[in-house]
Amino acid sequence: MFRASLSGIGPPLCVALIAMALMIFGPMGCACDQPEMPQLADNWSATVLVRVGGGHGTGVVVSHCGHILTNAHVANAAEGGEIQVIVDGPEAMILDASVVAVDEEHDLAILRVQHAFERVAAIETDDSTFFPGDGCYSIGYPLGFGKLASVGNVRTAHFSASGPGVPPVTRDAMMLEQQMEPGTSGSGIYSTRDGKLVGLMSQILWSGQSVFQLESSPIVVPVRHIRPFLTKNHVPFCREHPVFSGCSVSGS
């Protein structure tokens, strides 16, 4: 079997070989006009920063009428004070938000702002289409870096743990193989198959009496808990990435 390696070739020859490869095969990387991740533009626009007290989290716009999904621990960090939603891009703005509902068990919260959004995240409705090893990506606001995307995969769609210091959300959660940082709490997790929302980032690591340290294996609230929460609170979420047609009051 023939094997080639560049490890023993000097810099001038390396450059020549790379230049020849570019002429033959074209530029390295994706030369496509469209993003590699499905529905990246819609989901990117539907991702907002949630500012609470002296910190922040991430939120996902799930209705044209101004409903934003985030974590309960993000909303609770305001401690009854002001919550602001920061929208970037061409329509950059800072909006005051109110808390519509909180689900402590599944670490979910719904915020509402007085603004009609053009782009929203589509919610996955078929829980049988996501399996260990499937690809996913997230969009959030890690630390102070601004909005960033991260790519990973599913370790398990049905993770369960209990005990002292273990958050309730882990009784029925998803676990990913993906690097996440502080500030990404509330980030949407999207399938690389169709770009639909399949979960919401919750926990980065556990501390205290827990034996787990899972910086690269984040715990995610699966969409099977998100849909009933939105429905119970009359949030008109979308099942497909829609064309904006105004603000409605029923699910689409």
Residue among 48, 140, 57, 139 at smallest CA distance from 95: 48
Residue 58 belongs to some domain of the structure: yes
Query: In the prediction, which pLDDT does 98 show?
Result: 96
Look-up of token digits 């993906």: 178
In a domain, 59, yes or no: yes
**Number of domains present in the structure of the chain:** 2
Q: Which of these, 146, 143, 131, 137, lies nearest to 201 by C-alpha position?
A: 137
Q: How far is CA 156 from CA 18, 172, 173, 175, 177, in A?
A: 40, 11, 9, 5, 9
Q: How far is CA 55 from the centre of its chain?
A: 18
CATH code: domain of residue 82: 2.40.10.10
Residue 183, domain member (yes or no): yes
**Considering the domain boundaries, does residue 18 fall inside one?**
no
Residue 245 domain flag:
no
Q: Tokens 């509902």 correspond to what residue?
A: 101
Most confident of 75-84, 191-200, 243-252: 191-200
Is it the case that residue 89 has pLDDT exceeding 50? Answer: yes
pLDDT of res. 64: 94
State whether 148 and 198 are in the same domain. yes
- In percent, the amount of the chain with pLDDT more than 90 equals 58
Q: 58: which 2 tokens?
A: 């991430």
Domain boundary among 121, 141, 169: 121
**134 and 214 inside one domain:** yes
Encode 192-219: b = buried (16+ Cβ within 10 Å), e = exposed.
eeebbbbbbbbbbebeeebeeebeebbb
Higher pLDDT, 207 or 183: 183
Is there a single domain that holds both residue 151 and residue 216? Answer: yes
Q: Using CA atoms, how far apart are residues 241 and 134, in angstroms rounded to an integer?
A: 21
Q: 169 pLDDT exceeds 60?
A: yes
What's the mean pLDDT in 65-90? 93
Tell me which residue range forms the domain holding 78: 40-121
pLDDT digits (tens, 9 = 90+) for 46-77: 999 999 988 999 999 999 999 999 999 999 99
Same domain, residue pair 139 and 214: yes
Residue 243 lies in a domain: no
Give the model's confidence band at 90: pLDDT under 50 very low, under 70 low, under 90 confident, else very high: confident
C-beta neighbour count of 147 within 10 angstroms: 16
Q: Express each pLDDT in 215-246 by its tens digit.
A: 568 899 999 999 999 999 999 999 887 665 56
**Domain-located, residue 23:** no
| Mean of pLDDT values over 78-90 | 90
What pLDDT is recorded for position 162? 81
Using the 8-state DSSP alphabet, how is residue 17 labeled?
A: H
- Residue 217 CA, chain-centre distance (Å), reads 14
